[in-house]
Structure 1
Amino acid sequence: MALLRNHIAAITGAGSGIGRAIASGYAREGARVVLLDINATAAAEAAREIRDAGGKAESFALDVTRRDDCHAVARQIADIAGPVSILVNNAGITRRNGISGATEAVIKDWEDIIAINLTGVFNVTHAFMDSLRATRGRIVNIGSVQSFMHLRTPTSPAYTASKHGVLGLTRALAAELGKDGVRVNAIGPGFIETPLNEKVRASDPGLVKIFVDHTPLGRAGKPEDIVGPAIFLASDLSAFVTGSIVMADGGYRTI
């Protein structure tokens, strides 16, 4: 039985990594998926792969920091596909710089990361609000282990702040939208092998080892490891779950 049949799902950052895997997983479960990414070519290629596999998929270019563009894309999707009933806020960036570096770089990191990782979640959610209310939909935000902690490895305070913010926004939206039948949850990935961290993995294997040694399951995650939780939170299997975060970190936070 397809768990997401008759749903229309919009996924940001769907051109690669976790977003791309979730889009494919949703399509396999019967959803019509709309892939949104600042990289229009990558989103189109991912949508084409889904269609070639027998799924239903469209793609649009979207910069989540551009609020007017978010609303314009939401209107386009409503006209072409219908009201979105599942929204996955996945688009994000990371930069591993501390606050004590060159001032201009520190400020730019802060502004870019908060604009995409946190304000972007607000922008896209706000744009799809009418559709989600009409469908009694569900929102899945991609948080992180850094929604709870600042990692001991050299990392960005802006990224940690953004992911704390995503969890806070998830809870606030769940409280506000519950009366409309809209459920809002998050997923907290641990160290997942994606294009986002490909350069770091190649240049600093010692850093990867630190993460893996601290992970009870003894390995880094794959994008596909996030698909199951994403399907659960988008489906009726989680009909009484809202304001929660499902950790998919290999047990990182247990030790």
Structure 2
Amino acid sequence: MPLLQDHIAVVTGAGSGIGRAIAAGYAREGARVVVLDINEKAAAETAREIRDAGGKAESFALDVTKREACVAMARQVADKVGPVSILVNNAGIARRNGMLGAAEAVVQDWEDIIAINLTGVFNVTHAFLEPLRGAKGRIVNIGSIQSFLHLRTPSSPAYTASKHGVLGFTRALAAELGKDGVRVNAIGPGFIETPLNEKVRASNPELAKTFIAHTPLGRAGQPADIVGPAVFLASDLSAYVSGTIVMVDGGYRTV
């Protein structure tokens, strides 16, 4: 039997990259997937690909920074799809600028990154909390190697802070919701080649080489590399796993 049979899974930021890969992977394991993305067209394309492959998927546009929109989306999903039992908080942005640039740009980076990467995780989780508690559901948050460290390569303090926050939120929520049977975990991707970092890779190939040189497995990750851990954390295979982060970084943090 597929590992996620009879589950309804919501995946944010599923219009591309890691989110799209997870959504497709969940569908292959039998879940009915709700694809959410601020880019309505990209979300619809992900859902179409899933349906074309024989899976079940619906798509909706959502800006995770808008709290009332998240609440409305939870109601819409409940009415049109059903009770959600899996939530993946994947929506995020990355800007690799430091604190020493133009003040206006530094402040804008902080506000945008925290709003999407951290407050967005809170907004969506809070909106879907009732059905997740009712289903003894599973929450998977996408953290980072920067949930633990600030990379020496060009990188925004706002991004590091946001991903530290995601890990802290994961642990706090796991402690609070455990009594309801809800498991909350995170995944910590390393250097994954996605549309999110495509421009940086193209304009600064040395940056990619630096990451790979520090990675024991000797290659960049792909969105497909995140799917197995995401399925594991959403399935009964991880029935006694909560409050932790599964690192998918090719061994980056070991050296």
The TM-score, its normalising length taken from structure 2, stands at 1.00
Residue 25 of structure 1 corresponds to: 25
By how many angstroms is 1:154 displaced? 1.1
Give the distance between the partners of 2:82 and 2:155, measured in 1 at CA.
41
By how many angstroms is 1:81 displaced? 1.1
Residue 148 of structure 1 corresponds to: 148
Give 1:12's aligned amino acid: T
Residue 80 of structure 2 corresponds to: 80
By how many angstroms is 1:61 displaced? 0.2
String of CA shifts for 1:115-134, please: whole Å, max 9, x gaps: 00000000000000001001
Give the distance between the partners of 1:92 and 1:49, measured in 2 at CA.
22
Give the distance between the partners of 1:152 and 1:110, measured in 2 at CA.
19
Residue 59 of structure 2 corresponds to: 59
Which consecutive residues of structure 1, in runs of 5 or more, have no partner in the other structure? Answer: none
Give 1:68's aligned amino acid: E
Give the distance between the partners of 1:160 and 1:48, measured in 2 at CA.
34
Q: Equivalent residue of 2:209, what SS? A: helix
Q: Equivalent residue of 2:176, what SS? A: helix
* Equivalent runs, 1:47-126 vs 2, <5 Å: 47-126=47-126
Give the distance between the partners of 2:84 and 2:100, measured in 1 at CA.
43
Give the distance between the partners of 2:173 and 2:108, measured in 1 at CA.
28
By how many angstroms is 1:35 displaced? 0.3
String of CA shifts for 1:87-144, please: whole Å, max 9, x gaps: 0000000001001110000000000000000000000000000010010000000000
By how many angstroms is 1:191 displaced? 0.3
Give the distance between the partners of 2:94 and 2:199, measured in 1 at CA.
12
Q: Equivalent residue of 1:82, what SS? A: coil
Residue 175 of structure 1 corresponds to: 175
Give the distance between the partners of 1:124 and 1:45, measured in 2 at CA.
22
Residue 138 of structure 2 corresponds to: 138
Give the distance between the partners of 2:189 and 2:250, measured in 1 at CA.
9
Give 1:23's aligned amino acid: A
Give the distance between the partners of 1:250 and 1:25, measured in 2 at CA.
20
Give 1:62's aligned amino acid: L
By how many angstroms is 1:203 displaced? 0.8
Q: Equivalent residue of 1:99, what SS? A: coil
Q: For the aligned residues, what is the CA RMSD?
A: 0.3
By how many angstroms is 1:175 displaced? 0.3
Give the distance between the partners of 2:82 and 2:133, measured in 1 at CA.
13
Residue 246 of structure 2 corresponds to: 246
By how many angstroms is 1:181 displaced? 0.5
String of CA shifts for 1:4-47, please: whole Å, max 9, x gaps: 00000000000000000000000000000000000000000110
Give the distance between the partners of 1:26 and 1:154, measured in 2 at CA.
34
Q: Give the ranges of 4+ consecutive aligned residues of structure 1 lying more than 4 Å apart after TM superposition.
A: none
Give 2:173's aligned amino acid: L
Give the distance between the partners of 1:128 and 1:160, measured in 2 at CA.
26
String of CA shifts for 1:59-108, please: whole Å, max 9, x gaps: 00000000000010110000111110000000000001001110000000
Give the distance between the partners of 2:101 and 2:203, measured in 1 at CA.
20
Give the distance between the partners of 1:94 and 1:202, measured in 2 at CA.
15
By how many angstroms is 1:208 displaced? 0.3
Residue 237 of structure 2 corresponds to: 237
Residue 199 of structure 2 corresponds to: 199
Give 2:63's aligned amino acid: D
The TM-score, its normalising length taken from structure 1, stands at 1.00
Q: Equivalent residue of 2:164, what SS? A: helix
By how many angstroms is 1:176 displaced? 0.3
Give the distance between the partners of 2:43 and 2:71, measured in 1 at CA.
19
Residue 34 of structure 2 corresponds to: 34
Give the distance between the partners of 1:188 and 1:45, measured in 2 at CA.
26
Give the distance between the partners of 1:154 and 1:248, measured in 2 at CA.
21
